[in-house]
Chain A
């Protein structure tokens, strides 16, 4: 009887640790590295995000009749419609993966926008990220994480300047909000 009761308790403890308690950062870091290595080994491709955003936005413009295929940017990387773009699938996967994780933890909750200021900070910040990532050809993932993982000098060049941007951005934000 005792043994029977103890086993489920231990399993429950392990399940709670995996699905409810937050993981230590180093565990997350380790698993992200492993996932990326496996993806590279299987597909010969690296993880990136924002090129997919640019293609998606261009496709929306195409729908309303604007000529986007002649943009010079596609000389550097191909123009693909969203359903032919692997980034569409990985980006949607991140959203759904996070949704599954938080639901299994029982912690999902709609978090509403607080005010107008937050709306404009979100829109403006997102816009700057999108624009910057296009100029640098990479966001914090393609330009930084995957690039440094590839032993690429461009990743190491990216790092000090994203640090500088975040430092100055944070200081500006603190000043605005005070």
Chain B
């Protein structure tokens, strides 16, 4: 790589020092947030930092995870994310089960079903392919110094605001099915079996798909 050649050891040292400086500032911000605002904001800041770090180090991009198997037959990234979903499902399920057994509310991301989901997801996918990144990938690449993703973000905010303005009309599509939590609809054993079964099948299919694409 060209940029690797250009970096002599002293350039590397400067980058490391600046990086260390940013890390220190980030931790100070965490402490300030924790002391003066509701702890949720400090935890959210920390979550963002951790995820940004992980996404950058592992070069994880959701758009590539969906695009690469279809276009190039490569599924290693997809399988990494399917594995991630298996683990997070188990963790989320354990926390949900515990809370419900204690008489506490159900936690998680639930949206009533309706045509707004397929339509919105499709438009989102179009945009992700055209801009070459998803929401997490766009933010991560801004941190990496990509000017292009800064423009994507501007478009993203404009489109989000435009969508929020129009949303009242689109949300007429929201249907009757408000309960979307699989264990509530089915029961815990069936829901876990279905969820993990689907993820394992996707994983195996991805594995086979790559073998099939590169068979010769």
Contact = CB atoms under 8 A, between A and B. Distances in A.
A151 B93 contact: yes
| Most chain B beta carbons < 10 A, residue from A24, A161, A166 | A166
30 contacts: A24-B80, A26-B80, A28-B60, A33-B91, A37-B92, A49-B135, A49-B136, A61-B161, A72-B171, A73-B168, A95-B139, A96-B26, A97-B51, A98-B55, A98-B142, A98-B144, A103-B15, A113-B148, A127-B155, A130-B157, A130-B161, A131-B159, A133-B159, A139-B134, A140-B62, A143-B124, A149-B91, A151-B96, A153-B180, A172-B130
Ranked nearest first, the 10 interchain pairs of A and B with the lowest CB-CB distance are: A93-B48, A165-B125, A28-B58, A97-B52, A136-B120, A130-B159, A125-B131, A134-B163, A126-B155, A169-B129
A172 B130 CA distance: 8
Interface string A103-129: 111111111111000110111111111
Interface string B85-122: 11111011101100000000001111111001111111
Secondary structure at chain B's binding surface: helix, strand, loop or mixed? helix
B181 A152 contact: yes
The contact size tier of chain B is 35 or more
B81 to A, nearest CB: 5
Nearest to A106: B12
A161 B47 contact: no
Interface in A73-119: 73, 75-76, 86-87, 89-114, 118-119
Contact of B163 (A28, A131, A142, A148): A131
Secondary structure at chain A's binding surface: helix, strand, loop or mixed? helix
A90 B48 contact: yes
Contact of A71 (B46, B113, B142, B168): B168
Contact of B55 (A28, A113, A118, A151): A28
A57 B160 contact: yes
Contacts of B204: none
Contacts, number: 552
B130 A173 contact: yes
Given A29-B87, A129-B159, 10 more contacts: A23-B54, A23-B57, A41-B95, A97-B54, A99-B143, A100-B52, A103-B22, A132-B121, A150-B108, A170-B129
B45 A130 contact: no
Contacts of B42: 89
B197 to A, nearest CB: 12
Given A123-B152, A125-B128, A151-B93, A131 B162 contact: yes
Given A129-B135, A149-B89, A154-B113, A95 B160 contact: no
B201 interface: no
A48 B89 contact: no
Interface of B: 3-4, 7, 11-12, 15-16, 18-20, 22-23, 26, 33, 40-60, 62-63, 66-67, 70-71, 76-77, 79-89, 91-93, 95-96, 107-113, 116-132, 134-136, 138-149, 151-168, 170-171, 177, 180-183, 185, 191-192, 195, 198
Contacts of B153: 126
A18 to B, nearest CB: 8
A121 B131 contact: yes
Contacts of B143: 94-102
